């Protein structure tokens, strides 16, 4: 029983550490994505450009929240990064 409790506690701690990934690392990752979206939007016109700029705005909003010390759902960051990687329709 003691081993099970210790194992569960270790798993919870590892999970928390994985989720609590350094906000600075996440901000750097989001900044790189924002820059990439800006460069791609500069080379595009029309609707696709607008979509890229909207996605960049979402990414920048996440950056602002993290830099402001607000809690941001890690899944929301992951979704934003995934959306930025997907090709436009």
Which pLDDT tens digit goes with each residue over 35-80? Answer: 999 999 999 999 999 999 999 999 999 999 999 989 899 999 999 9
Q: Which pLDDT score, from 0 to 100, does residue 24 have?
A: 82
78 Cβ contact list (under 8 Å, min separation 6): none
Secondary structure class of 88 (helix, strand, coil)? coil
pLDDT confidence band for 14 (50 / 70 / 90): low
Q: How far apart are CA 24 and CA 2, in angstroms?
A: 37
pLDDT tens by residue, 69-87: 898 999 999 999 999 888 7
What dihedral angle (degrees, nearest 10) is formed by the CA atoms of 57, 58, 61, 66? Answer: -140
């Amino acid at each position: 029983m003691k081993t099970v409790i210790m194992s569960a506690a270790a798993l919870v701690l590892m999970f928390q550490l994985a989720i609590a990934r350094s906000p600075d690392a996440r901000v750097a990752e989001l900044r790189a994505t924002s820059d990439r979206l800006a460069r791609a939007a500069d080379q595009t016109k029309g609707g696709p450009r607008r979509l890229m700029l909207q996605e960049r705005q979402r990414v920048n909003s996440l950056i602002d929240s993290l830099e402001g010390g607000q809690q941001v759902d890690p899944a929301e960051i992951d979704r934003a990064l995934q959306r930025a990687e997907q090709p436009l329709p």
